[in-house]
Structure 1
Amino acid sequence: MGLDAYVACNCVKEGKAKKPPFDESLLVWKQGFPYLDESAPDGWCSLLYDPWRETACEHPDFYYFSDRVYNASGHLFYNGIMDRLGKGTFPHLDAVWRSSFTPDQAEAAMQDLERLESRLGEVEGVFLVDPATGKEYRDALTGNQNWFFSAGAEYTYILNEQGFNILGPEGEVWFRSLAFSQEIIRTMVDGKESVTAVFRDKATGQEQAGGSTFNWKTWGVDELEYPAFLEVVVRPLCLDDVYTLIVLRKLLEAVIDTGNPIVWA
């Protein structure tokens, strides 16, 4: 689950794009994008329109800007920040998500965004970090918790300001740590490799064995990452922690530059 967004360029309107391989009168405009009219002959869309749209100008598919705004956890993180600082304090930015938002409101929304960015330090976040690289794998807001793995009814992994927690089926705490190592155990079961982990608390030496690993998938890379050591860090938020805000700024800049609306997908 996630949300993408994009803003169209004006290259066709401004005569900067290659001419289409069909009569331009067959183009219809929707949300700033030129589409092929439904009256065009069958097959023209895939044979003529799609290849033209992909390469007609410096913006593939006429996307002046496009990006993923958030995934499910990012949505919760962003909404949590807005709830703490008060959505009513940023009415123009909150309106960005509504279908009634128009390009002439972008300047006011940008001012709200700048005020929100200046206040991020008022909110504290909880981060699961590899201290060797500084890479942050999971996040939550203080007072909330990020549930990010469940082995059915057996156990659940949760991050909050108390630490990295492994909870049993009745919510009992099996393991809790603010700094811990992860030992990866590889065994063969019925001809297939089984990968499990032993978590070991740095301060007490407590171990929790036999559970699922903490791993990370990087798109385009086949091998999973298994961090050897992780720490829970609680600190004030900064802009780099909230990718949604970075994308919103670029979307609003694109709206201001082009006069075209944000399209949510």
Structure 2
Amino acid sequence: MGLDAYVYCRCWQDGTAAPPPVGPVGLDEEGYLNLLLPWEGNEDAHAAFDTWVERACPHEQMEQAGERVSNWAGLRLFQQTLEAAGWSHFPTLHAGLPSGNGGWMPAEQAARMLDELDFFVHRARIGDEVVLVDEATGQELMTYVAAYCGVTTLGPGYRAGVDPDGFFVLDPDADPPVTLFRASRFEQRVLPDGQLEFTGGGMTARVAMPPIGGQRTPPPRFKVESRPRSAADFDYIVGALRRLCAASVATGNPVMWC
């Protein structure tokens, strides 16, 4: 699950696409190029329209650009980093990045978003991130995402994650949820019955959940620490947004979130 987006080409608008075999064709109330007929009773016409979209012009699906922006955790972490750097520098990113799938962003906003992305890459002050690491190798295993209250893994009877106060395991079935374990440095041990035993910070807890760091050879010791980040850590998101915004500015068509 995550956020994708695309920008329509101008072939239909400029009359260079093959004529549609059915009609009327236009932009619906949500901004999508569509056959403006109800689905019920017009199934064959809609199928013909879908086939036309695939072949009407040189662009696949009549899209000037199409991108996978990020999974939701990555996007929320990017937004968290923007907030730490100061939303006053990123008003368009603040307003324009969606909270869910669907919606669109006009080309005028896309132009401003390009400027804000340049500021993020070249001038923004990027803060540290709270991470859980394998104490032996330093490999990062969890990253604190405030939008998810630090929770990174969940299952029947547990929620686990990391926040500025350390690694934690919660019992979500209690009301209110009960903290089963919390520590900034701790050990895990897989018990014969498959449960995990966590020890650290003066606490010990046994929880039925998968081992941290993988099933095959899970690491035994962990610590929570802050690590510096840079704009380059978000190149995959920034690059996708830049390509989408550039296509939007070039065509005058909105960025369609999906």
Question: Is TM > 0.5 for Structure 1 vs Structure 2?
Answer: yes
Instruction: Decide whether aligned partners of structure 1 residues 116 and 20 sit closer, same or farther in structure 2, where only a CA change above 3 A counts.
Output: same
Work out the CA distance in 2 between the residues paired with 1:60 and 1:90. Answer: 32
Work out the CA distance in 1 between the residues paired with 2:196 and 2:149. Answer: 22
Q: Does 1:35 align with 2:38?
A: no
The aligned counterpart of 2:183 is 176
Gaps of at least 5 residues in structure 1 are 188-194, 217-223
Aligned pairs for 1:99-110 (under 5 A) are 102-110=106-114
The aligned counterpart of 1:77 is 77
Q: TM-score, normalised by structure 1?
A: 0.66
The aligned counterpart of 2:244 is 251
Amino acid of the structure 2 residue aligned with 1:61: Q
How many pairs were matched up? 243
Aligned pairs for 1:207-246 (under 5 A) are 208-214=205-211, 228-229=218-219, 232-239=224-231, 241-242=233-234, 244-246=237-239
What SS is found at the alignment partner of 2:242? Answer: helix
Work out the CA distance in 2 between the residues paired with 1:244 and 1:160. Answer: 23
Q: TM-score, normalised by structure 2?
A: 0.67
Q: Which moved further from structure 2: 128-137 or 49-58?
A: 128-137
Aligned pairs for 1:103-182 (under 5 A) are 103-119=107-123, 121-129=125-133, 136-140=140-144, 145-149=149-153, 155-167=158-170, 171-172=178-179, 174-178=181-185, 180=187
Gaps of at least 5 residues in structure 2 are none
Work out the CA distance in 2 between the residues paired with 1:135 and 1:62. Answer: 42
The aligned counterpart of 1:219 is none
How far did 1:125 drift?
0.8
Q: Residues 193-234 of structure 1: CA distance to partner in whole angstroms, max 9, x if unpaired? A: xx5434466xx9x86434311469xxxxxxx86672265452
Work out the CA distance in 2 between the residues paired with 1:225 and 1:97. Answer: 36
Instruction: Decide whether aligned partners of structure 1 residues 49 and 146 sit closer, same or farther in structure 2, where only a CA change above 3 A counts.
Output: same
Work out the CA distance in 1 between the residues paired with 2:43 and 2:218. Answer: 54
Work out the CA distance in 1 between the residues paired with 2:136 and 2:54. Answer: 42
What SS is found at the alignment partner of 2:254? Answer: coil
What SS is found at the alignment partner of 1:5? Answer: strand
Amino acid of the structure 1 residue aligned with 2:183: R
Work out the CA distance in 1 between the residues paired with 2:196 and 2:232. Answer: 30
Q: Which moved further from structure 2: 240-249 or 111-120?
A: 240-249
Instruction: Decide whether aligned partners of structure 1 residues 103 and 126 sit closer, same or farther in structure 2, where only a CA change above 3 A counts.
Output: same
Work out the CA distance in 1 between the residues paired with 2:139 and 2:13. Answer: 43
The aligned counterpart of 1:191 is none
Instruction: Decide whether aligned partners of structure 1 residues 228 and 14 sit closer, same or farther in structure 2, where only a CA change above 3 A counts.
Output: farther
8 Å CA contact 2:212, 2:218 repeated in 1:
no
Amino acid of the structure 1 residue aligned with 2:88: G
The aligned counterpart of 2:96 is 96
8 Å CA contact 1:7, 1:263 repeated in 2:
yes
How far did 1:137 drift?
4.5
8 Å CA contact 1:128, 1:232 repeated in 2:
yes
The aligned counterpart of 1:192 is none
